[in-house]
Amino acid sequence: MKPDKIKELLLNVQQGKMSVDQATTILEKLPFEDLGHTVVDHHRELRTGFPEVLFGENKTASQLIAIIQEMLKHRQQILATRVDSEKAAAVKVHLPNLQYDAEARCLFLESAEKSPKNGAGKILVVTAGTSDIPVAKEALITARLAGNDVELINDVGVAGVHRLLHRLEDLRRASVVIVVAGMEGALPSVVGGLIAAPVIAVPTSVGYGVAFGGVTALLGMLSSCASGVTVVNIDNGFGAGYAAALMNRIGQKDNQ
Amino acid sequence: MKPDKIKELLLNVQQGKMSVDQATTILEKLPFEDLGHTVVDHHRELRTGFPEVLFGENKTASQLIAIIQEMLKHRQQILATRVDSEKAAAVKVHLPNLQYDAEARCLFLESAEKSPKNGAGKILVVTAGTSDIPVAKEALITARLAGNDVELINDVGVAGVHRLLHRLEDLRRASVVIVVAGMEGALPSVVGGLIAAPVIAVPTSVGYGVAFGGVTALLGMLSSCASGVTVVNIDNGFGAGYAAALMNRIGQKDNQ
Amino acid sequence: MKPDKIKELLLNVQQGKMSVDQATTILEKLPFEDLGHTVVDHHRELRTGFPEVLFGENKTASQLIAIIQEMLKHRQQILATRVDSEKAAAVKVHLPNLQYDAEARCLFLESAEKSPKNGAGKILVVTAGTSDIPVAKEALITARLAGNDVELINDVGVAGVHRLLHRLEDLRRASVVIVVAGMEGALPSVVGGLIAAPVIAVPTSVGYGVAFGGVTALLGMLSSCASGVTVVNIDNGFGAGYAAALMNRIGQKDNQ
Amino acid sequence: MKPDKIKELLLNVQQGKMSVDQATTILEKLPFEDLGHTVVDHHRELRTGFPEVLFGENKTASQLIAIIQEMLKHRQQILATRVDSEKAAAVKVHLPNLQYDAEARCLFLESAEKSPKNGAGKILVVTAGTSDIPVAKEALITARLAGNDVELINDVGVAGVHRLLHRLEDLRRASVVIVVAGMEGALPSVVGGLIAAPVIAVPTSVGYGVAFGGVTALLGMLSSCASGVTVVNIDNGFGAGYAAALMNRIGQKDNQ
Amino acid sequence: MKPDKIKELLLNVQQGKMSVDQATTILEKLPFEDLGHTVVDHHRELRTGFPEVLFGENKTASQLIAIIQEMLKHRQQILATRVDSEKAAAVKVHLPNLQYDAEARCLFLESAEKSPKNGAGKILVVTAGTSDIPVAKEALITARLAGNDVELINDVGVAGVHRLLHRLEDLRRASVVIVVAGMEGALPSVVGGLIAAPVIAVPTSVGYGVAFGGVTALLGMLSSCASGVTVVNIDNGFGAGYAAALMNRIGQKDNQ
Amino acid sequence: MKPDKIKELLLNVQQGKMSVDQATTILEKLPFEDLGHTVVDHHRELRTGFPEVLFGENKTASQLIAIIQEMLKHRQQILATRVDSEKAAAVKVHLPNLQYDAEARCLFLESAEKSPKNGAGKILVVTAGTSDIPVAKEALITARLAGNDVELINDVGVAGVHRLLHRLEDLRRASVVIVVAGMEGALPSVVGGLIAAPVIAVPTSVGYGVAFGGVTALLGMLSSCASGVTVVNIDNGFGAGYAAALMNRIGQKDNQ
Amino acid sequence: MKPDKIKELLLNVQQGKMSVDQATTILEKLPFEDLGHTVVDHHRELRTGFPEVLFGENKTASQLIAIIQEMLKHRQQILATRVDSEKAAAVKVHLPNLQYDAEARCLFLESAEKSPKNGAGKILVVTAGTSDIPVAKEALITARLAGNDVELINDVGVAGVHRLLHRLEDLRRASVVIVVAGMEGALPSVVGGLIAAPVIAVPTSVGYGVAFGGVTALLGMLSSCASGVTVVNIDNGFGAGYAAALMNRIGQKDNQ
Amino acid sequence: MKPDKIKELLLNVQQGKMSVDQATTILEKLPFEDLGHTVVDHHRELRTGFPEVLFGENKTASQLIAIIQEMLKHRQQILATRVDSEKAAAVKVHLPNLQYDAEARCLFLESAEKSPKNGAGKILVVTAGTSDIPVAKEALITARLAGNDVELINDVGVAGVHRLLHRLEDLRRASVVIVVAGMEGALPSVVGGLIAAPVIAVPTSVGYGVAFGGVTALLGMLSSCASGVTVVNIDNGFGAGYAAALMNRIGQKDNQ
């Protein structure tokens, strides 16, 4: 609560416009109102256009149904990640309006009056190989639901670098590029060296032996010789999409 | 090279306006001109306002002097990171105009006609403890030389969370927040939960025992329960500052 | 055996009050009686109010039944941890009086004449997220069966630090606080900075990628920047509940 | 701020006993006053009897002098850990009243009117071998300065288990036992099986080869087959002493 | 595109032998033609005699069928690795001409007019134990389909070194030796010390405990005290066979 | 082949007592006969009384049947380790004389005229807990089949050290002690400190969290503060039993 | 104390042959006398012929002098390991009779009337390379001072396996073989396959890169495909020598 | 020894052309002569043109001098790796003809009548950055002394992929390419995708934080998505150069 609002309230009490009990009730809640914790959450959603996101992996179908039904009272968009196809089918029996992307394992509701374009430019999601697509699509759906213009470029790994160079024009037009790669995770370094936009690197658990379920790709991305690359957890497509959306809002009018 | 430019050149040859040898010379270079590889680098610097950055750790004083003298022919800004004080002193004997920040271990030249403000808003660098300052200042100097408005908030680690909440207003006004922390590296999670701007987490090698030289902080940051946090290598203040600068340019006019 | 008791015994022998054979029998056992090893165990249980605890994971239902039936001859309380629901059902066919908490995977018998309150104050169990509840409830049941007043505060992770601050009053009233968290495991640091009671941190295997099945949370807790935090093994709710019960008895009259 | 205090203040304003500006000033600060963050720290120190503790490793002698001189304005006890002998000597030139324990690497001021006994009983610090003494003494000094009765039992490692059994009586009389061990770190398991008090295990970096600088001892302690053992970071004598002091205050009158 | 070819084209345009549009079409593609990226791939296959290789693990039977049917339009040889027997059977329903090696988990088509011998000499595949055979056969089939003369020597591990010495003559006649071993992975060191040909070491995931799924074998091979040993990823029989084929072509006429 | 035997053979040839072809046949095999490689194996078995040991994990029931039938032509004892109960049942259909120990997962044939006592004294196998029994019994059966007098002492882990001390007399009478323990693996250190016989430590994969499937126990055993302890791989009961048998034969007459 | 001895004592008391005070004094000490803990140590030394061994690394020259002077009152043999040459020189100023082996870093006193031969046969110490000699000599001196006949075979690593085979006869005559190797640590597997005596493997920190300071050699040795190999900590020559001495005493008359 | 040669010898004995003693002497040596172990080494050197290579790191200057003087009796080429400049200077005082490359840390003698060209084509050594040069030059010198035509291409890392493409023609002409890279180690993947020759990847310890002293580069190279890449130990330039030389000899006339 800002000083002027506190002062206004006190004047109202002094002038008898507000009872002491009413004012007490308001101020009692002050610590949180003033710190704005709950408010933060609301503000955040309003400003980012982000739907509430559910991590579906540890939740049962009936838990998902209950939570989503509750959420639908206040929202027009829903996103639940890491929902397998069986669980999704069970949820859709009760909530047939939800869409399901089996590759991305995302269950979501995209507002009919699609969220207004929030971002400064296009967010590009790039994969090294076809096995990286599930993670890439989780990133893509996350960023799209947050009101961004997104596009997927697939299978442009470094062992055939010409495939990547062929898409150079697209890469350079993007405002943020999410690069999804497993195995040695070298693609973000090459992309980072070619463009001037921020690169978010997502290691995937694709590979065998010393790929160590994505750890090698992660370490490679963190050790990248290209500047401007930041990294998220293994297979964390959602986190990359969310961070890209936050970045893409920088400097936007509707961000103020 | 775009088709219309190729066509124009060919018409010139057909019409005798250009000799075959001249055209050959131009087209011979085409692959790189057309891919614009070297050009990329120039474009990149022009657009980002980034000085050439030298990693000083493995270079001798005389190597640094030679490289910087060469660079000064074309540039007004210089940044060399990881330069210890002894090496810096040796370089400054020959290049007395350079500035040196001993804490950040950065040797740099900041253009007199300071680089125009490039970013959308302020970049905030936040540390968990005073031991994290060297890394934080490397980030700060990098982002500032790239033309950003930057500020440092120090010593607001999670074991005294009220210190952080006290600066909530500042945190919320920033367009990008760089969070620098060692030990358990928990600060980015708390910051990420309080603001709607992107958070770049920088683990530091501060700590002992199972802090494992920053690995524990790194793993904690990557596993963060807060969304929108991306991570760079241990002690990589430069990388965080560079990435923050790229993010802060998104949607800026001078970025087009 | 204390010198005066030995002397007394010898005088009895000398004076014919005790036969040499009787005395031999007693002294033969002396090393252990004197070291009191078996005695220790009895003393320990009597003093801590702790039920015999069975680690159920590697035991079959019939093994559990046999052991519990044996134990019930001497005790009124039973606790078997890590018992899955199928095994629990099989045991309850023969031992219908046992209670089963499916979330905590604990099978137990809580004495009708509930164990007297043993501890100095309330033990609080706090979780970072809902996925940490199973481990938290194992801790809670363990401490409660040992005669403590216990309470659970759920889902107050650091990415929404206001939720935690909202419960500050409760945290400060507890005599011991068990903090259960997965992912980056940052909650014990924040709690440890807010209160003056000992904090027992329990890392959980919640998370994916570099959460490494709880290792990252564990390392973060051990590297905590807050003082007064001690740590147990990953998912070791029982160990935390047991240690909390021991701590809560310090300085209690019934502990002497 | 409690509702009744808010109400009182508002009544004062309503009744003209307090100006609106005065009330505004008070309420403006409310969030922090009400959350009592800074207050917490004061309360904590008052209640625990803990001196401010400085981690001396990353601080220069002159930094230590400045901080300690500032602290001495308000306190009678000082503790700086991880101060090597050279640095300690430099500090003592300006602050000759400080005491220095070279083995523990602790620089401290112990109040003349020694802090009142805070704890319920004696805190025992036990080492496996003589190489563990420095860490043990850091724990011992920390707990003693916090007002506890402490004692050291040395060199009772498990490869000669009779040495430990010889001290069984002492172990059983302690209210908290800190066990300090390197190499395989087995001592806390044996101690934990012999007593009913909480055991705080401190792994040390003593050992070579796969002792891995204390990691093996740490893992062994966390995997202990004895219940009631909690663990701190490698070589973290201070943390163990601090936690032991917090535990020893449970149920104490002066803790309320 | 070489300068002389560009010049020729330009002369054709100048002399009216080629229209500007035709030349534009050709030059437009130039960057890639000139870099020869796609060309590379074709050249590579032609020169190495390598079939397109499919990594079958993440592909469904129907995906494999579709891809192979497409490939068969242009090729006479096919190789799909890591195809389990069930998937192989499903593919063979539609593509009965394919062969399947269940041990090697390879599905392949070997051209009737077998590929001409490409290599300089025989490639030998050697295993330490019978459990290493699946990986060895993947290497063997890969190298054979690339037109090499290959042979398998089985079960000559170092715990019975005489078995290996018995085959010394064969080992010395080979132009490349692939050594496949799990557990401690010592065989490549012994082989490398006996012969003058390059040794490609393939660690396998055979073993238990600290064999760590092949990591111990891998580390041992990389630390080998024998010179001339190079290493591939754990269980990467294909990679070893492929590399051996490339090596065996060095200095061959049909390689120019 | 010793020089005198070679000379004798040559004299025979010279004197016409042996044909050149016969001598050629003998000498042709010489390198191996002379190195005695195959001979070694025979000698070894004769001297150690060791049956051929099959590692059953990667073999099918029919493979086991075939190998054992072949072995039975020459031997009266058989040992196959790591054979699960289903596979064992399938084998016993064809080889009903074999015995199967389900806990040890060993399938074996123990000669009716039991192997003569080979060892100097009793081999003792000691476990820390009941979960370690399967590994202990694999060691026990291995050593017994090699002709040793063996005994099992169970459940004497360090958290109740009196249980171990109770068996001190037995421990001191053994000529070799195999100690089997999971979790923190501390038992070998305590045993090693109590006796003067060699201790073979076997870490088991018993435990959870940072027990890391036996790695923590292994590291603890290798870092043991007790001298005279040597270690084998995790869960390697067979290896411990085999090594104990070799040790127990040292200095025996039938070993010469 | 055995029952019959207790009975005898009690009869003496009953019959007035011994005063109650005398008997009390004896029985008072009983727990330890009966457990024989201190006695154990003496017995152990007497039976093994082992000198007291000092780990010199963490001790100052003056500490070593004091301890050795104390030890010399009771013993004729001394062994201090890990003593660098400077420290050794400082000690020898006061104790000129001590011998120092700079390679082994051992400071020792070997009794003039050399310890009688304790072992059944010769202990052989074998190294893979010359860099392993310091560790090998620590093992050798330890075993020799314990009264064993020892011999060193050097530089017979697996990359030149003929060098090892050349010494086959010697290997087969040994009663225990200690194999010392760094890098991939493959030598114990080869030796273990050639002989019927127990093999003690000692990994050394020789090597670079992924030799990881001996960890790779250690893992290889534990994963050895040869049976009968047991392992000690990295660079633990003393432990291997000690264990070999214990083994070599099995079945010896002077061991009873 | 082949059967026909044995037969010939026996016939000679039978026919009195050779005495029994002469024949005994020959056959006595047979095992080694026949296995030809020592001979192997000579053959190997003769065939590969490889100088004896000394690993200089653990040797003193005087040891190096003694060994090299001994070697010079038989050879015209010498190579000692990992010799620092101080040690090199000390050696050159006695052996002034040796050359020293300070960057490569190699001390060597290159035969005046330079070794004849052994390899099929040029060996190319490629570095990602200038910090990788020392390792690259160790590889280069090794391969050159083995009689190969070698060339270095420097600083063509993946963050500026156009630099690499610029040298495509050179890369494609090489018969073997050694790629030296630290940090994320991505360069071998890109090179491997562009050429049809074998690629030997050498990870270097260049980088900081999670570069983990070359481990990240190593893991990335082993997980490479490009086929035909084999890997050596971290910083093992010598191993790569040696392996390249062996490969380059395949199919050469002077290799038979």
Please name which of B215, B251, B244 lies closest in space to residue B230, comparing C-alpha atoms: B244
State whether residue D127 is helix, strand or coil. strand
F41 has pLDDT over 50: no
F121 has pLDDT over 80: yes
Residue B2 placed within a domain: no
Average pLDDT, chain F: 83
State whether residue E24 is helix, strand or coil. helix
Q: What is the helix (H) or strand (E) element at residue A94, kind and residue range?
A: helix A85-94
Q: Flag if B234 and H209 touch (Cβ within 8 Å).
A: yes
Is the CB of residue F223 less than 8 Å from the CB of residue D211? Answer: yes
CB of A165 within 8 Å of a chain E CB? The answer is yes
Q: b/e string for H120-151 if b means 16 or more Cβ within 10 A?
A: bbbbbbbbbbebbbbbbbbbbbbbbbbbbbbe
CB of B152 within 8 Å of a chain A CB? The answer is no
Residue H201's beta-bridge partner residues? H179, H231
Q: What is the pLDDT of residues F124-158, one digit of tens each?
A: 999 998 899 999 999 999 999 988 999 999 988 88
**Residue A137 sits in the same domain as residue A220:** yes
CATH at residue F232: 3.40.50.1970
Average pLDDT, chain B: 83
Neighbours of F71 (CB within 10 A): 17
Please name which of A149, A118, A122, A155 lies closest in space to residue A136, comparing C-alpha atoms: A155
- CA atoms of E147 and G88, how far apart (whole Å): 66
Decide which of H109, H144, H163 is a domain's last residue. Answer: H109
**Which residue intervals of chain D are DSSP H helices?**
3-14, 20-28, 30-35, 37-48, 61-71, 85-94, 133-145, 161-165, 168-173, 187-194, 215-222, 237-248
Is the CB of residue E245 less than 8 Å from the CB of residue H230? Answer: no
Q: Which two tokens stand for residue H70?
A: 């001994």
Residue F185 placed within a domain: yes
Average pLDDT over residues A213-235: 94
Q: Flag if F35 and G222 touch (Cβ within 8 Å).
A: no
**Residue A131 sits in the same domain as residue A101:** no
Is the full-model pTM beyond 0.95? no
**Residue H174 sits in the same domain as residue H96:** no
Per CB-CB distance under 8 Å, the chain A contacts of E67 are none
Decide which of B73, B88, B109 is a domain's last residue. Answer: B109
Q: Which of H35, H218, H236 sits opposite G162 (nearest CB)?
A: H35
Q: A166: Cβ–Cβ under 8 A, 6 or more apart, which residues?
A: A156, E32
State whether residue A124 is helix, strand or coil. strand
**Which residue intervals of B195-234 are DSSP H helices?**
215-222
- CA atoms of A159 and E242, how far apart (whole Å): 15
Per CB-CB distance under 8 Å, the chain D contacts of B163 are 37
Residue C140 placed within a domain: yes
**Residue G95 sits in the same domain as residue G131:** no
pLDDT at D241: 96
Q: Flag if C210 and A38 touch (Cβ within 8 Å).
A: no
CB of B95 within 8 Å of a chain H CB? The answer is no
Q: Which two tokens stand for residue B229?
A: 């946090």
Q: Flag if G189 and E159 touch (Cβ within 8 Å).
A: yes
Per CB-CB distance under 8 Å, the chain C contacts of A37 are 160-163, 165
pLDDT at B190: 93
Residue E115 placed within a domain: no
The residue type found at G201 is A
Q: Min CA distance, H59 vs chain F (Å)?
A: 30
Q: Which of B161, B163, B210 sits opposite D218 (nearest CB)?
A: B210
Q: Min CA distance, A139 vs chain H (Å)?
A: 23
- CA atoms of F131 and F111, how far apart (whole Å): 29
Q: Which residue numbers in chain C have pLDDT < 70?
A: 1-5, 25-52, 112-118, 253-256
Site from C37, C38, C52 to mutate, F interface, most F CB atoms within 10 angstroms: C37
The torsion angle over the Cα atoms of residues H245, H248, H254 and H256, rounded to 10 degrees, is 100
Is the CB of residue G200 less than 8 Å from the CB of residue E212? Answer: no
Please name which of D4, D5, D16, D26 lies closest in space to residue A16, comparing C-alpha atoms: D16
Residue found under tokens 């190319």: H124
CB of F252 within 8 Å of a chain G CB? The answer is yes
State whether residue D153 is helix, strand or coil. strand
- CA atoms of F227 and F221, how far apart (whole Å): 11
Q: What is the 3-state secondary structure (H, E, C) of B7-58?
A: HHHHHHHHCCCCCHHHHHHHHHCHHHHHHCHHHHHHHHHHHHCCCCEEECCC
Q: Min CA distance, B25 vs chain E (Å)?
A: 8
Is the CB of residue E148 less than 8 Å from the CB of residue E117? Answer: yes
Is the CB of residue F204 less than 8 Å from the CB of residue F234? Answer: yes
Q: What is the pLDDT of residues F222-248, one digit of tens each?
A: 999 888 899 999 999 999 999 999 999
CB of F166 within 8 Å of a chain C CB? The answer is yes
Which one of A40-44, D33-37, D65-69, H184-188 scores highest in mean pLDDT? H184-188
Q: What is the helix (H) or strand (E) element at residue B129, kind and residue range?
A: none
Average pLDDT over residues D70-83: 85
pLDDT at H32: 32
Q: What is the helix (H) or strand (E) element at residue A202, kind and residue range?
A: strand A199-203
**Residue E59 sits in the same domain as residue E170:** no
Q: Flag if E220 and G222 touch (Cβ within 8 Å).
A: no
Residue A27: closest C-alpha in chain D: D6
Mean pLDDT (10-residue bins), chain H, 256 residues: 68 83 65 30 45 81 88 83 96 95 94 65 94 96 93 89 85 95 94 92 94 95 91 96 94 56
pLDDT at E12: 84
Which residue has better confidence, E120 or B47?
A: E120
Which one of A153-157, B19-23, H84-88 scores highest in mean pLDDT? H84-88
Residue C114 placed within a domain: no
Per CB-CB distance under 8 Å, the chain D contacts of F215 are 219
Q: Flag if G196 and F44 touch (Cβ within 8 Å).
A: yes
Residue B242: closest C-alpha in chain A: A228
pLDDT at H3: 58
**Residue B143 sits in the same domain as residue B208:** yes
pLDDT at E122: 95
pLDDT at G22: 75
Per CB-CB distance under 8 Å, the chain E contacts of B27 are 6, 10, 27, 30
Q: Flag if D131 and G236 touch (Cβ within 8 Å).
A: no
Q: Find how far residue E244's CA is from the centre of its chain.
A: 7
**Residue E186 sits in the same domain as residue E209:** yes
pLDDT at E148: 93
Per CB-CB distance under 8 Å, the chain G contacts of C15 are none
- CA atoms of C90 and C70, how far apart (whole Å): 17
Average pLDDT over residues D245-251: 90
Q: Min CA distance, C170 vs chain B (Å)?
A: 17
Please calculate the CA angle B167-B172-B178 and round it to the nearest 5 degrees: 80
Pairing of strands E123-127, C229-231: unpaired
- pLDDT category of residue B113 using cuts at 50, 70 and 90: low
Per CB-CB distance under 8 Å, the chain B contacts of D234 are 208-210
The length of chain C is: 256
Q: Flag if E27 and B10 touch (Cβ within 8 Å).
A: yes
Which residue has better confidence, E27 or G51?
A: E27
Q: Flag if E184 and G184 touch (Cβ within 8 Å).
A: yes
Which residue has better confidence, A254 or H91?
A: H91
Residue A200: closest C-alpha in chain B: B230
Is the CB of residue B84 less than 8 Å from the CB of residue B58? Answer: no
Predicted interface score ipTM higher than 0.90: no
Neighbours of chain F (3+ CB pairs under 8 A): C, D, E, G, H
The boundaries of the domain holding residue H243 are 122-255
Sheet holding A106-109, edge to edge: A53-55, A78-81, A106-109, A99-101
Handedness of CA A168, A172, A178, A179 (dihedral sign): positive
Among A146-160, E84-98, E111-125, where is mean pLDDT lowest? E111-125
Q: Min CA distance, E5 vs chain B (Å)?
A: 9
Q: F5: Cβ–Cβ under 8 A, 6 or more apart, which residues?
A: none
**Residue C131 sits in the same domain as residue C203:** yes
pLDDT at G33: 31
Q: Which of D131, D161, D209 sits opposite G214 (nearest CB)?
A: D209
Neighbours of chain C (3+ CB pairs under 8 A): A, B, D, F, G
Residue F28 placed within a domain: yes
State whether residue B149 is helix, strand or coil. coil
Q: Min CA distance, B3 vs chain E (Å)?
A: 6
Which one of A23-27, E15-19, H250-254 scores highest in mean pLDDT? E15-19
- CA atoms of F125 and F202, how far apart (whole Å): 10
Q: What is the pLDDT of residues E130-185, one digit of tens each?
A: 899 999 999 999 999 988 999 999 988 888 888 888 888 899 899 999 999 999 99
- CA atoms of B92 and H123, how far apart (whole Å): 42
Per CB-CB distance under 8 Å, the chain C contacts of B211 are 219, 223
Q: What is the pLDDT of residues F1-17, one digit of tens each?
A: 455 667 777 888 888 88
**Residue D68 sits in the same domain as residue D166:** no
State whether residue E179 is helix, strand or coil. strand
pLDDT at H38: 28
pLDDT at A235: 97
Q: What is the helix (H) or strand (E) element at residue B250, kind and residue range?
A: none
CB of F194 within 8 Å of a chain H CB? The answer is no
Q: What percent of chain E has pLDDT over 90?
A: 50
Count the domains in chain D: 2
Q: Flag if E250 and H246 touch (Cβ within 8 Å).
A: no
Average pLDDT over residues F83-112: 93
Interface of B with C in 105-134 (CB under 8 A): 128-129
**Residue A93 sits in the same domain as residue A140:** no
Residue found under tokens 């259960």: C180
Residue C99's beta-bridge partner residues? C108
F35 has pLDDT over 50: no
**Residue H148 sits in the same domain as residue H240:** yes
Q: What percent of chain G has pLDDT over 90?
A: 50
Q: Which of F35, F53, F222 sits opposite G168 (nearest CB)?
A: F35
Please name which of G129, G116, G136, G130 lies closest in space to residue G48, comparing C-alpha atoms: G116
Q: Min CA distance, E100 vs chain F (Å)?
A: 21
- pLDDT category of residue D4 using cuts at 50, 70 and 90: low
A145 has pLDDT over 60: yes
Q: Flag if G252 and F248 touch (Cβ within 8 Å).
A: no
Among A91-100, E23-32, F102-111, where is mean pLDDT lowest? E23-32
Interface of F with H in 29-58 (CB under 8 A): 30-31, 34-35
Decide which of C53, C85, C109 is a domain's last residue. Answer: C109
Q: Flag if D27 and A10 touch (Cβ within 8 Å).
A: yes
- CA atoms of B89 and B95, how far apart (whole Å): 10
pLDDT at D116: 56
A43 has pLDDT over 90: no
Pairing of strands D53-55, C150-153: unpaired
Q: Min CA distance, D14 vs chain A (Å)?
A: 4
- CA atoms of F92 and F85, how far apart (whole Å): 10
φ/ψ of G124, rounded to 5, equals -105, 135
Which one of D45-54, F52-61, G175-184 scores highest in mean pLDDT? G175-184
The torsion angle over the Cα atoms of residues H216, H220, H221 and H227, rounded to 10 degrees, is 170
Residue found under tokens 């490939």: E71
pLDDT at C27: 67
The length of chain A is: 256
Residue F226 placed within a domain: yes
Pairing of strands G106-109, G78-81: antiparallel
Residue D180's beta-bridge partner residues? D127, D202
Q: Which two tokens stand for residue A136?
A: 């890439």
- CA atoms of H201 and H234, how far apart (whole Å): 10
Q: Which of F37, F205, F214 sits opposite E162 (nearest CB)?
A: F37
CB of H19 within 8 Å of a chain E CB? The answer is no
**Residue F183 sits in the same domain as residue F228:** yes
The residue type found at C243 is A
pLDDT at A125: 97
Per CB-CB distance under 8 Å, the chain H contacts of G211 are 233
Q: Min CA distance, D172 vs chain G (Å)?
A: 18
Which residue has better confidence, D19 or D186?
A: D186
pLDDT at G45: 47
Which residue has better confidence, D31 or D10?
A: D10
Average pLDDT, chain A: 83
- CA atoms of F158 and D186, how far apart (whole Å): 8
pLDDT at F247: 95
**Which residue intervals of chain E are DSSP H helices?**
3-14, 20-28, 30-35, 37-48, 61-72, 85-94, 133-145, 161-165, 168-173, 187-194, 215-222, 237-248
Q: Min CA distance, D35 vs chain A (Å)?
A: 7
Residue B171 placed within a domain: yes
pLDDT at E18: 82
Q: What is the pLDDT of residues A50-67, one digit of tens each?
A: 656 888 888 889 889 988
- CA atoms of F246 and F255, how far apart (whole Å): 10
Establish, for the pair of chains E and F, how many residue pairs have beta carbons separated by less than 8 Å. 33
